Structure 1
Amino acid sequence: MFDDTTQIIDRVRAILPQIAANAQKAEDDRMVPAENIALLKGTGLHRAFQPKAYGGLEMPLPEFENAIALIATACGSTAWAFSLLAEHNHQIALYSKQLQDEIWGDDPDTVASSSIAPYGKTTETEGGVRFSGEFGWSSGCDHAQWAILGCLRDDAELGKVYSFAILPRSDYEIRDNWYAKGMRGSGSKTIVVKDVFVPEHRIESVPALMSLTSAGGALYPDSKTYHVPFIYVFASCFSAVSLGIAERMLALYTERTQGRVRAYTGAKVGQSVPACMRLAESTHQVAAGRAFLEKTWDDMRSHAESRVFPDPQKMAFWRTNQAYAVKMFVAAVDRLFEASGGSAWFDEAEAQRLFRDSHMTAAHAYTDYDICAQILGRALMGLDPDPSLF
Structure 2
Amino acid sequence: MSDDGTIWPDGEALAAGVAAAGQGAVAADVAGRLAPATAEALAAAGFPSGFAPLAQGGADASFDSVTRAVAAIGEGCASAAWLASLWAYNGRFSAYLPDEGRQDIWAKGPDTRLVSSMVAAGVRAEPVDGGWSLAGRWLYVSGVEFADWALLSSAPPREGDRSVRVFAVPKDAFTHQESWSTLGMRATGSHTLVVEQAFVPEHRSFVWDDMRLGNLPEPGTTAQAAPLFAVNGLTFAAPVLGAARAALRLVGEHLGKQPSGARSAARESHRIAYARAAGEIDAAALLLARVAGTADRGRLGEDGAAVRSHRDSTLAVELLVGAVDRLFHVTGTRGQATSHGMQRIWRDVHAAGSHAALQFEAAALAFTQRLVAA
TM-score, normalized by the shorter chain, greater than 0.5: yes
- For the Cα contact (< 8 Å) 1:91–1:230, is it kept in 2? no
Matched, 1:144 2:144: no
* Identical aligned residues as a percent: 23
Q: Which residue number in structure 1 is paired with residue 176 of structure 2?
A: 174
Q: TM-score, normalised by structure 2?
A: 0.90
SS at match of 1:46: coil
Q: Which residue number in structure 2 is paired with residue 242 of structure 1?
A: 240
Distance of 2:262 and 2:318 partners within structure 1: 35
Where does 1:196-211 land on structure 2 (aligned, <5 Å)? 196-211=198-213
Structure 1 runs, 4 residues or longer, greater than 4 Å off: 4-7, 266-269
- CA 1:344 to 1:100, structure 2 compared with 1: closer, same or farther past 3 Å? same
Q: Which residue number in structure 2 is paired with residue 218 of structure 1?
A: 218
- For the Cα contact (< 8 Å) 2:231–2:310, is it kept in 1? no
Q: TM-score, normalised by structure 1?
A: 0.87
- CA 1:126 to 1:370, structure 2 compared with 1: closer, same or farther past 3 Å? same
CA deviations on 1:127-153 (whole Å, 9 max, x unpaired) are 222222211111111111111112239
Q: Which residue number in structure 2 is paired with residue 229 of structure 1?
A: 227
Correspondent of 2:133 among 115, 122, 130: 130
- CA 1:94 to 1:21, structure 2 compared with 1: closer, same or farther past 3 Å? same
Gaps of 5+ in 1: 384-390
Q: Which residue number in structure 1 is paired with residue 3 of structure 2?
A: none
Matched, 1:282 2:277: yes
- Give the counterpart letter for 2:296 in structure 1: R
Pairs aligned (count): 366
User: For structure 1, which segment, 48-57 or 135-144, has the greater mean C-alpha deviation from structure 2 after superposition?
Assistant: 48-57
Gaps of 5+ in 2: 1-5
CA deviations on 1:156-209 (whole Å, 9 max, x unpaired) are xx9772321111111111101211111001111110112322222111112222
CA deviations on 1:328-379 (whole Å, 9 max, x unpaired) are 0000000110221112112221100000111112111101122222222214
Where does 1:235-274 land on structure 2 (aligned, <5 Å)? 235-259=233-257, 261-262=259-260, 265=261, 267-268=263-264, 272-274=267-269
Shift of 1:107: 3.2
Q: Which residue number in structure 2 is paired with residue 332 of structure 1?
A: 323
Q: Which residue number in structure 1 is paired with residue 72 of structure 2?
A: 70
Distance of 2:370 and 2:131 partners within structure 1: 36
Q: Which residue number in structure 2 is paired with residue 354 of structure 1?
A: 345
CA deviations on 1:272-320 (whole Å, 9 max, x unpaired) are 21011100111111111111110111011001xxxx6615632212222
- CA 1:369 to 1:213, structure 2 compared with 1: closer, same or farther past 3 Å? closer
- CA 1:260 to 1:33, structure 2 compared with 1: closer, same or farther past 3 Å? farther
- Give the counterpart letter for 2:72 in structure 1: L
- Give the counterpart letter for 2:344 in structure 1: R
- For the Cα contact (< 8 Å) 1:114–1:147, is it kept in 2? yes
